[in-house]
Structure 1
Amino acid sequence: MYLKGIFCEVLARQAYYAAALSPHVVDVELVNKGLHDTPEVLRADLQRRLNAIERDRYDAVLLGYGLCSNSIVGLVCPHTRMVVPRAHDCITLYLGSKERYADEFRATPGTYWYTADYIERSRDDDGRVALGAAGEKDMSVVYQEYVEKYGRDNADYLMEVMGAWRAHYSRAAYIEAEEMPLPDYVAQVQEQAARRGWVFEKLAGSIIILRDLIEGRWDDERFLIVSPRRTLVPTYDARIIREADSPEG
């Protein structure tokens, strides 16, 4: 098969690695992770990329995204089927299954997630080096503003007084894929965890979802196949997403 993959850049290493091993021809396209901050902007960018795909060039378009604050809801590929992982966000893609992510969340909901890819791709933006939802990012923005205004030591003190970090989070989890060695940022994450009074934990991850996405193993339990000119919507249950009619028909 000839496949087009559109991936968030925080999955760059995994996407290229899986594409290199895939029996199919895969064109990989990366999207700036900063677009996650504004879901409607990310959705518009992804739709623009889908509209730009040539007719009859690919057998399928692969989306390397989870639901991601509904950023992928409403997307339509005009003439090629889309294949999308059943995931709330990219943490599922790092851990290897939505079930494992659910188990981790139930056990320790106050977790700040770190991966080598996300840390590397955060060096030139606002300094946020952890994965997570909008609320987590907002807290990081506050911290960065304090650093810029008052210096790092004073920023740490202010956040300590506010209790903003400890009120919501208790664990820093560093996910490391077992299938592929990556640069080690454990010491950096341990330092951040110690500064904020969090427990540090290193978790074994898996790129099996991305491998199977790129290698064409699309079982219905883990992937949704969306027909051309149709869209996807959230299900608010374990399936996460389903196919639906597009408003444009």
Structure 2
Amino acid sequence: MVKKKIYVISCAVLARDIKEVAREMDLALEYKFLEAGLHENPHKLNTQVQKAVDQIDVKGDADRIIIGYGVCGKGTVGLNSRNVTLVIPKVHDCISLFLGGDAAYQAQFKKYPGTYYLSAGWCEEKAEPVSRRRGRAWFGNRQLVYEDVKNAHGRAAADQTFAFLNSWQKNYQRAAFIETRSGQAARYEQMAKDMADEYGWQFERIKGDQGLIRQMLTATESTSGILVVPPGHTIAFDPVGSTLTASPVWDPGAGGAAPETECVVPSDRPDTDLGLKIKTGLGIDAGGTYTDAVVYDLENRSTLCKAKALTTKWDFTIGIENALTQLDPDPLAEVSLVALST
């Protein structure tokens, strides 16, 4: 009888730490590491991971597939396998994995919210030496060179363009290098220090924790930090608990009725006239760093009040509440339409 294999599909940023833990625990794993940065495009992340899962599924030799991602902008929501168990950590992103869980990440966030986190794996996959970063900026997936922009459009245009593209640096005040005992840590820590010096940030080395990675590589049952998804189930997101969960997949070809769902519509205002013209709206955008809230006069097309708070990725409702509490309560009370984006 052929021994079943354990596969790992993961972001390349985690490659060093996963392989190190596997060696320490004498685990025989089959790896597929995907390009770093897929969390910036959740749809692409989902497509590539699902494709890798499907390729393993049809082989018929897998005991389980370990997904080395977290929620990652909900890019992992909907992942499923017909025949193989999936294992995924219940974290929001890789920072939590390097620190040992969302609780450790929350503690760091409360201590210093404006932090740019780096690890040996992140530096290897994403970081560039300061000498190469100078005079360069990213516009989406395209890297611009200052001299090229200046030659094409003039110095003033180049200065304005690069000032805008590099304005993200102002959102951070600290660079934190997460030490997880991964190889060549000193070299990558120096890269983090150089980045902090270049951008005028403070630098701090913080101790990481590979405990959750160990759990991820060995778990066969769900725990508080790990979700085990049985075959025929899909990874879902529980907005109440702000965590990943598993839901059965309905296969129309298998017959039977679809799972019953209940739509609950608040009815505290039964006399509401749906034909009334909406005058005041509330817009909320939970971005990568900040959460913005704006109360807008739809009739006069003017902003009545606005506020900004740091985004709390482990629980977006905290950042949203912090932004809402800063708004003028009078126009906020007149809101009859809310739009939310993340």
Short-chain TM bin = 0.7 to 0.9
8 Å Cα contact 1:95-1:204 kept in structure 2: yes
Post-superposition shift, 1:111? Answer: 1.0
TM-score (norm: length of structure 1): 0.80
Q: CA 1:193–1:156 in 2, change beyond 3 Å: closer, same or farther? A: farther
Is residue 191 from structure 1 mapped to residue 190 from structure 2 by the alignment? no
The CA deviation string for residues 115-173 of structure 1, in whole angstroms up to 9 with x for no partner, is: 1111111269xx999xxxxxxxxx8548953646359xx98997668882454111111
Counterpart residue type for residue 106 of structure 2: A
Is residue 3 from structure 1 mapped to residue 6 from structure 2 by the alignment? yes
Q: CA 1:102–1:91 in 2, change beyond 3 Å: closer, same or farther? A: same
Is residue 215 from structure 1 mapped to residue 218 from structure 2 by the alignment? yes
TM-score (norm: length of structure 2): 0.60
Counterpart residue type for residue 91 of structure 2: A
SS in 1 for 2:74: coil
8 Å Cα contact 2:215-2:226 kept in structure 1: no
Partner of 2:76: 72
Partner of 1:101: 105
Which structure's relative contact order is higher, taking Cα pairs within 8 Å and 6+ residues apart? 1
CA distance in 2 between partners of 1:128 and 1:141 (Å):
16
Q: CA 1:23–1:8 in 2, change beyond 3 Å: closer, same or farther? A: same
Partner of 1:243: 246
Identity of aligned residues (%): 26
Q: CA 1:245–1:163 in 2, change beyond 3 Å: closer, same or farther? A: same
8 Å Cα contact 2:5-2:61 kept in structure 1: yes
Unaligned runs of 5+ in 1: 130-138
SS in 2 for 1:52: helix
Aligned residues: 235
Partner of 2:38: 35
Partner of 1:145: 144
Partner of 1:182: 184
CA distance in 2 between partners of 1:9 and 1:164 (Å):
27
CA distance in 2 between partners of 1:41 and 1:76 (Å):
16
Q: CA RMSD in A?
A: 3.2
8 Å Cα contact 2:6-2:63 kept in structure 1: yes
Structure whose CA Rg is larger:
2
